[in-house]
Structure 1
Amino acid sequence: MTLLNDPRPISADSHAMETPEVFEGLVERFGDDAPRVVHTEGQGDSIVIPNNPKRSRNVAVMALAGTRLDYETPLPRKHASKPSAGSLNDPEIQAYFTGGYAAMRAGLVDGARRPDDQDIDGISAEILYPGWFPMFSLTNLDLLVALQQNFNDWMHNQQVASKGRLVGLAALPVQRPDVAVAELERVIKLGFKGIVIPSNAPEGRRYCDEEYDPMWALAEEAGLPVAFHVACMSHIPEWVQVSLKRDPIVQYAGSPALIHDTMVELMVRGVCAKYPKLKFVLAEFNAGWVAHWLDKVQQGWAREYGGNPSGTPEPVDVLEIWKRQFYATIEDDTTALKTCETIGEDTLLWGSDYPHTDSTWPCSSQVLDEMFENYSPETRDKITRTNVAKLYSL
């Protein structure tokens, strides 16, 4: 049975749990610049960079949804919504922080066991993004390249172990455009069906710069969608650093802004015009904002062209660009469903976000039943299954 023949949903946005194998060989080559997994008795396992301790992180942070079956009383959940995040003080969560990989569900660290977690959630497969986001922003570029190559090899092995129920995305080191093309050629040969790159171009560059044309051209020719995931950044822009002084709830609610610059570079500044068959995925930015934002971009483009017609491309319909080339993942974003008439139900992809805190696991089936109770079975099937299956040629 192919994935498209399986009637269960496919998560378009789930995450890997990088294990120590991803970091093998890096310490020997890069010393204390290199990330590595360190186990501390009573404090679990952490990914540590000795020369940059602020980037160190307990691996439990990437896996908190995996604790939910350990609660004697299930975490509360509102209608058509994911479960509560719980509290970091909960003993179930603390067990992950203190126990490390050994305390986690087997499906989080072993691709062969990940289908067990999928079956609990009632889904057939997952598109798998990285879990350790700093891999996109290391300043030692030789290290960044080596780490992403390690990750891609490890991800390939996870896919094989899952017998097709994990569809991993390969990471590309866009800080070095020529190396990114070479790595893209390599992962195409390995059979990857999609790639993930930072949600913003490296500092001082834009994704519409000509040096990225070979990467876009190869991805289009190979039919590999290009994904951008929230918080997977090449660097923290100055405006984001300033915004970190704002209320944390404002920051969380404003997370879609992290992809807006890139979308304009692609839609308005020429990438989509050059590569009209190339597909882009906005992962975990949700989509309730998209219809309004596209309308404002259309107005802004017209205003710029009116003020400088010789220096600005003549505006085209950005909504049509969206429908032709863009997709957005949603979890329990019912607002996005209400905008389908505008942005198109063919452009939405449901994802569980497992095993991250925002995940709908282990009750994705119930959440989807409630989200789509007023929508046709055909609409539900597109957004939860067939759109993503067709996009990634499953």
Structure 2
Amino acid sequence: MVREGSARPIPKVISVDDHVIEPSHLFDVWLPHKYRERGPKPFTAGIGDLQYIGGKYRFTTDPDGQVTDWWEYEGEIFPYKRIIAAVGFSRDEMTLDGITREQMRRGCWDPKARLEDMDLNHVEASLCFPTFPRFCGQTFAEAQDKEVALACVRAYNDWMVEEWCGDSGGRLIPLCLIPLWDVELAVAEIRRNAARGVRAVTFSEIPTYLGLPSIHSGYWDPFFAACEETGTVVNMHIGSSSQMPAASPDAPPAVQATLSFNNAMSSLADFLFSGVLVRFPRLTLAYSEGQMGWIPYALERADDVWRDHRAWGGVRDLIPEPPSTYYYRQVFCCFFRDKHGIDAIEAVGVDNATFETDYPHVDSTWPHTKRVAAEHVAGLSEDVAYKLLRGNAIRMLGLPFDEGRVTAATA
């Protein structure tokens, strides 16, 4: 274990997993005029009954219910809930109740206020996942009118790059969507955004759960090739498969919350045995909000399977080296509360782990991130602490911070 003695100041954090609540004007401003009537529309209404069906929440409106901000798109309605804009509320107030933007902390949706909240939280830079489009753009992938859906993907990305991140001085890091339903359109969107400096895209941890081709099929290879060529990091958030693991279909949501890392673990095994990381040796994957304490055994087991079972397991000619080789070379994880992972950081990979604050979700460490981070890295060497809280994120995303130190640390 890489340990060092006394308490010391910690560097400012770079968070690789936060979230943005989309402003109500997004599609009115950024969607081309000819699509606006068919595009997403914001509205405010009371929230009605909540049902939890097949692992998904279903809501209705109610004129007598709590006033809530919503989106309507192709006849479907999406409410903002307090648990996704939880910062500033007590733990007992972090519920599934509806919420309006005015009731949220302004940093949820206003970039200037977000920077102020980052300053309060010892955070220098932040990568933010979408909310209404869902973690990898499932909302648009499920739409019937794909012409409008493509325009919405592009409008969201334009807003993300030019408005959300535009005046932040590089502190808000753009994370863009792709049209998941068409790999060639996805490649075009990767290239369009890379040309303006974007180096991060969000993708599904398990595409088959969305009714899309698997990563084993070869269908996604042009996408992976474009990401490799442009240096675009493929970010996969827990829940980006629109399913969360549970032991029983009628289990309470607490079971899913406890098991939330399981899809990341399944996805990692999928990639390690897919040949994708062999064919694209400069492709970078990032697992978001999956934590890291599970990784050492997952790698140990994958290497055991490769060594002992690769012939009948179908990977003898596909994976030439132990699977952990590709993890340490091309995959990043992230954490915010994972002391078990810290205890196993050498096996997790001191060059593979990054940090997050999950602002403004219910799991967020805001405004106590500095204390939480300091507690986690207290026993680590200064160099390892720097890598986990900052340096690995800079290297992963090619950020314009600490160039001399990152270069020296990874030379």
Which residue, out of 18, 40, 43, partners 2:67? 43
Following the alignment from structure 1 to structure 2, what is the Cα–Cα distance between the partners of residues 48 and 113?
Answer: 26
Following the alignment from structure 1 to structure 2, what is the Cα–Cα distance between the partners of residues 7 and 293?
Answer: 30
Greater shift in the superposed pair: 377-386 or 298-307: 298-307
SS of aligned partner of 2:364: coil
Contact 2:12 2:124 (C-alpha < 8 Å) held by counterparts: yes
Match of 2:23 in 1: 19
Following the alignment from structure 1 to structure 2, what is the Cα–Cα distance between the partners of residues 323 and 159?
Answer: 30
- Measured at CA, do residues 338 and 242 of structure 1 come closer, stay the same or move farther in structure 2, by a change above 3 Å? closer
Unaligned runs of 5+ in 2: 1-9, 47-65, 400-411
Report deviation, 1:254. 1.8
Greater shift in the superposed pair: 112-121 or 14-23: 14-23
2:291 matched to 1:286?
A: yes
Cα deviation per residue 1:121-166 (whole Å; 9 max; x = unaligned)?
Answer: 0111111221335332442261443322221111112111222210
Match of 1:136 in 2: 138
Match of 1:210 in 2: 218
CA-based RMSD: 2.8
- Measured at CA, do residues 144 and 258 of structure 1 come closer, stay the same or move farther in structure 2, by a change above 3 Å? farther
- Measured at CA, do residues 269 and 375 of structure 1 come closer, stay the same or move farther in structure 2, by a change above 3 Å? same
Amino acid in the other structure paired with 2:124: S
- Measured at CA, do residues 114 and 310 of structure 1 come closer, stay the same or move farther in structure 2, by a change above 3 Å? closer
Following the alignment from structure 2 to structure 1, what is the Cα–Cα distance between the partners of residues 237 and 283?
Answer: 17
Following the alignment from structure 2 to structure 1, what is the Cα–Cα distance between the partners of residues 375 and 193?
Answer: 38
Match of 1:9 in 2: 13
Amino acid in the other structure paired with 1:108: C
Following the alignment from structure 1 to structure 2, what is the Cα–Cα distance between the partners of residues 60 and 153?
Answer: 27
Q: How many residues align?
A: 361
- Measured at CA, do residues 38 and 314 of structure 1 come closer, stay the same or move farther in structure 2, by a change above 3 Å? closer
Contact 2:200 2:397 (C-alpha < 8 Å) held by counterparts: yes
Following the alignment from structure 1 to structure 2, what is the Cα–Cα distance between the partners of residues 13 and 228?
Answer: 10
Report deviation, 1:23. 3.5
Cα deviation per residue 1:191-239 (whole Å; 9 max; x = unaligned)?
Answer: 2121111222142511233232221111111111110011122x549xx
Contact 1:305 1:315 (C-alpha < 8 Å) held by counterparts: no
Contact 1:265 1:271 (C-alpha < 8 Å) held by counterparts: no
Which residue, out of 225, 231, 236, partners 1:228? 236
Report deviation, 1:315. 5.2
Cα deviation per residue 1:271-328 (whole Å; 9 max; x = unaligned)?
Answer: 0001111111000011110111122222334454232668753552122211100111
Report deviation, 1:28. 7.1
Match of 1:388 in 2: 393
Contact 1:243 1:251 (C-alpha < 8 Å) held by counterparts: no
Which residue, out of 345, 350, 353, partners 2:355? 350
Report deviation, 1:368. 1.3
Contact 1:244 1:251 (C-alpha < 8 Å) held by counterparts: no
Following the alignment from structure 2 to structure 1, what is the Cα–Cα distance between the partners of residues 19 and 32?
Answer: 22
Counterpart mapping for 1:101-180 below 5 A: 101-132=101-132, 134=134, 135-137=137-139, 138-140=141-143, 142=146, 143-156=148-161, 157-180=163-186
SS of aligned partner of 1:282: strand
Cα deviation per residue 1:237-266 (whole Å; 9 max; x = unaligned)?
Answer: 9xx588533453332222222134432332
Cα deviation per residue 1:160-179 (whole Å; 9 max; x = unaligned)?
Answer: 12222100211112221111
- Measured at CA, do residues 329 and 199 of structure 1 come closer, stay the same or move farther in structure 2, by a change above 3 Å? same
Counterpart mapping for 1:360-371 below 5 A: 360-371=365-376
TM-score by length of 2: 0.79
Amino acid in the other structure paired with 2:204: P
Following the alignment from structure 1 to structure 2, what is the Cα–Cα distance between the partners of residues 365 and 180?
Answer: 37
Cα deviation per residue 1:334-392 (whole Å; 9 max; x = unaligned)?
Answer: 11111112121111001000011100000101111212222222211110011101111
- Measured at CA, do residues 374 and 236 of structure 1 come closer, stay the same or move farther in structure 2, by a change above 3 Å? closer
Following the alignment from structure 2 to structure 1, what is the Cα–Cα distance between the partners of residues 25 and 287?
Answer: 28
Unaligned runs of 5+ in 1: 1-5, 69-74, 76-84
Match of 2:406 in 1: none
Percent of paired sites with the same residue: 22
- Measured at CA, do residues 182 and 204 of structure 1 come closer, stay the same or move farther in structure 2, by a change above 3 Å? closer
Match of 1:298 in 2: 303
2:380 matched to 1:378?
A: no
TM-score by length of 1: 0.83
Amino acid in the other structure paired with 1:268: F
Amino acid in the other structure paired with 2:85: A
Match of 2:326 in 1: 321
Greater shift in the superposed pair: 113-122 or 304-313: 304-313
Greater shift in the superposed pair: 325-334 or 257-266: 257-266
Following the alignment from structure 1 to structure 2, what is the Cα–Cα distance between the partners of residues 101 and 130?
Answer: 15
Match of 1:58 in 2: 80
Match of 1:71 in 2: none
